[in-house]
Amino acid sequence: MIERSEQEARRYYDEFSASYELERSHGYHQMIDDLELQVTAPYARGARVLELGCGTGLILTRVAEIADKAVGIDLSEGMARHARERGLDVHIASICDLPFDDDEFDLTYCFKVLAHIPDIDAALREAARVTRPGGHLLLEFYNPWSLRYLAKKLAGPQAIGAARTEADILTRWDSPPTIRKLLPANVELLDFYGVRVLTPVAAAHRIPWVARGLRQAEHLAARSPLRYFAGFLVAVLRKSRQSA
């Protein structure tokens, strides 16, 4: 069943790869990438870093500029091809079966991927396995306690490419208490970081004066008490120095 799900996901993202970067160099999507880089950079600087589900390498490219070593994996050959064209070290692999040794990375991070993984327990175990004791993990979940969740429910599945919609891929929503329960025993939850706390709909960032205000507000909200209501909730984790 899992293998079939991964095959379907691979086809979905192979098709999506052709249009994935449209409008991602500015506006809403650039803000999201900037917020994710903001939480990643302090842990990535001078470190051995792995991105799970790196897509076309938009974030990994920026991380590679400050990391000692930056590696990515993606299920989709179409996505990975774009990342490799950027000169990145990217492997085709499942997040549930990583082709790396135990304790290989100082930082493992994952954005926009875990929400689409059927076997979330296996994915989290693998992420922890390849991270060294004392190393960090930044794992992003889709949060049902958010404006984004409400907007998605009201709007319904949106088009992805010419013949696909968001309904063609599994999407899970995990609240902060649920995330705590999902985490492997050998990782410690240090904090949450919020991405897209205040933005009601992505289209709001097409209005220049609204976009400027929202961008500033989102950067402030990311670490504020409002972070628990972010559309994308990043769990900041540290792997135990002792075996679980």
| pLDDT for 244 | 46
Packing angle of the helix pair 2-16, 77-85 (nearest 10 deg): 50
- The whole domain housing 182 covers 2-239
* Any domain includes 96: yes
* Any domain includes 86: yes
Q: Which two tokens stand for residue 134?
A: 């004392």
For 145, phi and psi rounded to 5 degrees? -90, 55
* Any domain includes 70: yes
| pLDDT for 162 | 64
Distance of alpha carbon 200 from the chain centroid: 20
Instruction: List per-residue pLDDT tens for the chain, 244 residues long.
Output: 446 578 877 888 878 877 888 778 789 999 999 999 999 999 999 999 999 999 999 999 999 999 999 999 999 999 999 999 999 999 999 999 999 999 999 999 999 999 999 999 999 999 999 999 999 999 999 999 999 999 999 987 776 666 777 777 889 999 999 999 999 999 999 999 999 999 999 999 999 999 999 999 999 999 999 999 999 999 999 999 865 4
| pLDDT for 161 | 62
| pLDDT for 61 | 98
Residues with Cβ within 8 Å of 57's Cβ and at least 6 positions away in sequence, in order, are 72, 82, 83, 84, 86, 88, 90
- Residues comprising the chain, all counted: 244
- For the entire predicted model, the pTM comes to 0.93
Number of domains the chain is built from: 1
Q: What CATH number does residue 99 fall under?
A: 3.40.50.150
The enclosing H or E element of 62 equals: helix 58-64
**Residues facing 115 on adjacent strands:** none
| pLDDT for 21 | 81
Q: Which two tokens stand for residue 176?
A: 């902060």
Angle, alpha carbons 116-27-115 (nearest 5°): 10
* Any domain includes 228: yes
Are 235 and 138 in contact by the 8 Å Cβ rule? The answer is yes
* Any domain includes 244: no
| pLDDT for 1 | 43
